[in-house]
Structure 1
Amino acid sequence: MAERLVPVISLTGFEQRKVEITAELIEAAEKVGFFTLVDHGISKEEIEAQFSISKAFFDLPAEKKGKTPHDPKTNNGWEYKAQLRPSTGTYDQKESLWLQRNSEWPSDNDVPGFQDTTREFMKKCAEISDQVLTCFARGLGFDENYFKIANDPSQPDCLTQLRLIHYPASEKAVGTWRAGSHTDIGCLTLLFQRDGEDGLEICPGRESHSSFASGDIFTPLPAETGPIVVNIGDMLMAWSDDRLKSNFHRVRAKDDGISPSRYSIAYFNQGRRDFVLQGPLKKYSAITVGEYFAQSVAKNFSRSMTAAV
């Protein structure tokens, strides 16, 4: 597999360095579609605390996790190895809990501190997302608050979600994908990983948001607690007239077939359902975020990629 540089971008002194950071983010998004954020304002201890909450939930027996059932209409709730990837023809080897601000949540009686810890974590993810989206708006020629407003999680039509993910340990995983190759449908994904829990691989190379050509060169991105791996989603690629790249990624089992548990946390900025999406060059017809999601899910499931990380 080829080595590929994923830019590391510091958000320190954001207001004073906004022009510099904007240039770095735009270059990373145009050339790679992935970058890593450091000095972002969430401490390693806070990230570890959220992972502890996540592990406590996944350690529950199925009947307790099932008290927050997955709802196909909203895509919120707990699912277990239920995501079929047409790219592999198999189900992803993971379980996950999808959450929105006002969706059904696990009880603190089952996982003490779950709601307060997770809501605070989501708040900080939103703040970091706002900084990055501000830079992308500036770089694309929009008002700098444009994408912040379009992805405001406090609004009732916002589709933004947090996903807690657990890949159970396996000793027979050689030659399989713990999560098959895919792109993300939304705008911007923040991914948190834990030290030593590797498996994520990335594959830049798309030219348009509607392309299914993924290429065949994947690069491993080692897991580390602290830095945030960020990738562009299909929606933002379309919104930028294909200037910012949404690229393929997957989670690969170890070559010896012995893969330990892996935990990750993804914060998906997915826009507001009623907000109109169109790039500054108007390369594509105007469409609402909700309509874009519905069309993308139908297209992806009928061809080769599913809709989530």
Structure 2
Amino acid sequence: MGNQSTPSPQVTKFSALNCIDLSNPDINQSVELLKQACLDSGFFYVVNHGISQEFMDQVFVQSREFFSLPHEEKMKILRNEKHRGYTPVLDELLDPENQVHGDYKEGYYIGVEKGEDDLDSKKPFYGPNRWPSPDVLPGWRETMEKFHREALQVGKEVAKIIALALDLDANFFDQPQMLGEPIATLRLLHYEGQVSDPLKGLYGAGAHTDYGLITLLTTDDIPGLQICKDRDAKPQIWEDVSPLKGAFIVNLGDMLERWSNCVFKSTLHRVLGNGQERFSIAYFLEPSHDCLVECLPTCKSATNPPKFPPILCCDYLTKRYNDTHADLNIYKKRET
């Protein structure tokens, strides 16, 4: 991975992030706020997004119920090669240069549901989800599928503002080959309460950039998320991002950095545990499997040629997932 960090014991301040109100009728104001945020930190809050606080609370309650299950029950739905299902603690290693172990978090991946009879289900990242038995968690699947659908609509609204900020048509990203058939992954996350120590290589989640277009993150009120605006600085300066009740914390992914020719950059971030149990829910919005990610016409010129070669979304995602996740064979060996 190319986005490693140098451990630093200090954090300078809390990061002040712009707040995008999706109910604001003045789209130009939203575009300017978003553009400023993307040029500054690549992170911003989104409020009045249309998902009720009551439903958000319900999703967190049901996430907690899943992670409270016995380990043996969770391992029955271990993630598969399509990246659907449960990911145990230490399964993911995001910053191998600086981490002694994997991330001290467990997770659960839920993608766009594609039945076995759907031709797309043969492609990487598409296919049926893995679900807890309804006898164990009644109504759980229905809650998560509803949240997945509603988060996708929020993501598409944010993508419209991003398109306008890049001088594109508002619906540029909402085309069939992009967000019309997205690889959209809902990921429930649970940090068990381990204390992180960068000087010892211990992290809730190691320093990394996200892979796709954008990520929508909602958290409980326990802090832990940190961002580094300049990944090349020596030493790196890390800033805390405060949880904001009912809001999504949105950040840009690597594909948007490639699309925009580094006008908008994906920002290095990590999670440090402070000994408190912490829950968060991330929604990773990537374009379709066959989308070709190449420099946007508004982001290149004779004096500013494309910095990255074109790449298929599925090829980029496959490499990043393989780089950061444990080989599934290690779990089969443990069972035998």
Alignment map for 1:140-179 (pairs within 5 Å) = 140-149=166-175, 150-152=177-179, 155=181, 158-170=182-194, 173-174=196-197, 176-179=202-205
Residues 115/12 of structure 1: CA separation in 2 closer, same or farther (3 Å cut): same
Q: Tell me, yes or no, if the aligned pair for 2:19 and 2:33 is still in contact at 8 Å.
A: no
Q: Deviations over 1:130-156 (max 9, x none)?
A: 11101111222333222122543x63x
Alignment CA distance shift 1:261-1:300 (3 Å): closer
User: Partner of 1:306 in structure 2?
Assistant: none
Please tell me whether residue 58 in structure 1 is matched to residue 84 in structure 2. no
- The alignment status of 1:279 with 2:304, answered yes or no, reads no
1:68 match? 77
Task: Show the 5 A alignment for 1:7-86.
Answer: 7-13=18-24, 16-71=25-80, 73-81=81-89, 82-85=91-94, 86=96
AA aligned to 2:21 is S
Asked if residue 268 in structure 1 is aligned to residue 279 in structure 2, the reply is: no
- Deviation, structure 1 residue 64: 1.8
Residue 95 of structure 2 corresponds to residue 95 of structure 1? no
Give the C-alpha shift of residue 222 in structure 1. Answer: 2.2
Range 215-224 or range 272-281, more displaced: 215-224
Return the index of the structure with the highest Cα Rg.
2
Structure 1 residue 80, shift from structure 2 partner:
0.9
Match of 1:252 in 2: 272
Contact 1:151–1:269 (CA<8 Å) still a contact in 2? Answer: no
Whether 2:251 is the aligned partner of 1:231: answer: yes
CA distance in 2, matches of 1:167, 1:249: 16
Write out per-residue CA displacement over residues 57-85 of structure 1, whole angstroms, 9 at most, x where no aligned residue.
111112221222211x2222101111123
The residue type equivalent to 1:78 in the other structure is Y
Distance 1:288 1:227, change over 3 A: same
Q: Percent identity?
A: 30
What per-residue deviation string (whole Å, max 9, x for no partner) do you get for residues 140-183 of structure 1? 2333222122543x63xx3210000001124x655531111111
Count of aligned pairs between the two proteins: 284
SS at match of 1:24: helix
Matched AA of 1:74: K
User: Cα gap change, 1:56/1:297 in structure 2, threshold over 3 Å: closer, same or farther?
Assistant: closer
Q: Any idea what the Cα deviations from partners look like across 1:99-155, whole Å, max 9, x if unmatched?
A: 112222223222121122111111111111111101111222333222122543x63
Aligned AA for 1:271?
A: P
Return closer, same or farther for 1:215/1:129 CA change in 2, 3 Å cut-off: farther
Q: How does 1:157-236 map to 2 (within 5 A)?
A: 158-170=182-194, 173-174=196-197, 176-195=202-221, 197-206=222-231, 216-236=236-256
Mark the CA change 1:253 to 1:104 in structure 2 (over 3 Å): closer, same or farther: closer
SS of structure 2 residue aligned to 1:53: helix
Matched AA of 1:286: P
Q: Tell me the residue number matched to 1:292.
A: 316
AA paired with 1:132?
A: V
- The TM-score, its normalising length taken from structure 1, stands at 0.85
Uncovered stretches (5+) of structure 1, i.e. residues with no partner: 207-211, 302-309
1:2 corresponds in structure 2 to: 12
Cα-to-partner distance string for 1:228-277 (whole Å, 9 max, x where unaligned): 111001111111111112111111122xxxx1210000000021110111
**Contact 1:162–1:267 at 8 Å: present in 2 too?**
yes
Cα gap change, 1:299/1:111 in structure 2, threshold over 3 Å: closer, same or farther?
closer
Tell me the amino acid that sits aligned with residue 261 of structure 1.
E
Give the deviation of 1:300 after TM superposition: 7.1
Q: Distance in 2 between matches of 1:33 and 1:214?
A: 20
Q: Which amino acid aligns with 2:247?
A: P
1:35 offset after TM fit, Å? 0.5
Paired with 1:75 and 1:97, the residues of 2 have a C-alpha distance of 9
Contact 2:226 2:241 in 1 (8 A): yes
- Superposed counterparts of 1:108-123, under 5 Å: 108-123=134-149
How far apart are the structure 2 equivalents of 1:61 and 1:48?
23
CA separation of 1:214/1:88 partners in 2, compared to 1, >3 Å: closer, same or farther? farther
Please give the alpha-carbon distance, in whole angstroms, between the structure 1 residues aligned to 2:31 and 2:219. 25
Q: 1:52 to 1:79 in 2, by over 3 A?
A: same
RMSD of equivalent CA atoms: 2.2
- Normalising by the residue count of structure 2, what TM-score does the alignment of the two structures yield? 0.78
- The verdict on how the C-alpha distance between 1:213 and 1:276 changes in structure 2, with shifts beyond 3 A counting, is farther
